[in-house]
Amino acid sequence: MENFRQEFIAFAIAKQVLMFGEFQTKAGRLSPYFFNTGLFNDGESLAKLSQFYAKAIEASQLPYDMLFGPAYKGIPLVAAISVALAGLGRNLPFCFNRKEAKDHGEGGATVGAPLKGRVLIVDDVISAGTSVRESVSLIRAQGASPCGVAIALDRQERGQGELSAVQEVTRDFGLPVIAIATLEDLIGYLRGQPELAAPLEKVLEYNRQYGARST
């Protein structure tokens, strides 16, 4: 496991963004862990989160020209990640959308730099893929090209079929998905923490039951 992925999982657990217990998912499954990026809710934690995104994006070596953050969770993410990338020597434009187009002032459906070139979408997670679908449509409508999606955690969990939501995005849109960490990374981290043996067993069982098939 790349070192920053392990560091990210430890950070998420320390901030109680990643918690263990029994949590019901939207699909009605009882998950042994819960991940909520909304709890990265202060300056220090958002700064660290954006640095992890920047490291994952750079490690992917994906060519891109700008960043796009879908409203609402993508708005603080895209701004913070652009700052983190600038700290690595990559000064790139960014943009985010409005939930409702503005018909006065500067107007339009987006705020920030004009959408052009290869656009990397940044969001917290991919659940049903709705946010990605809407982002792809908006980006293409303005003459730009979506080139990938960056997220914090890939649960690697089946959706309605055999594939995960992330795998479905890759299949449907031809877009690579960059994750700071995956469920596989989480399992690897838990295996190295004897005090988390109980959560590890529950996560492994959940993965056996609901894990997406490999592609």
Instruction: Say which of 73, 99, 104, 116 is annotated catalytic.
Output: 104
Residue with tokens 């959706």: 159
The residues, any chain, with a CB within 8 Å of residue 192's CB and separated by 6 or more, are none
DSSP E strands, 48-186:
66-69, 94-102, 108-112, 118-122, 145-154, 177-182
The catalytically annotated residue of 15, 99, 102, 202 is: 102
Q: Is position 55 annotated as part of the catalytic site?
A: no
CA distance 97 to 70: 6
104 is catalytic: yes
Question: Nearest to residue 45, comparing CAs of 22, 77, 21?
Answer: 77
Question: Which residues form the catalytic set?
Answer: 102, 104
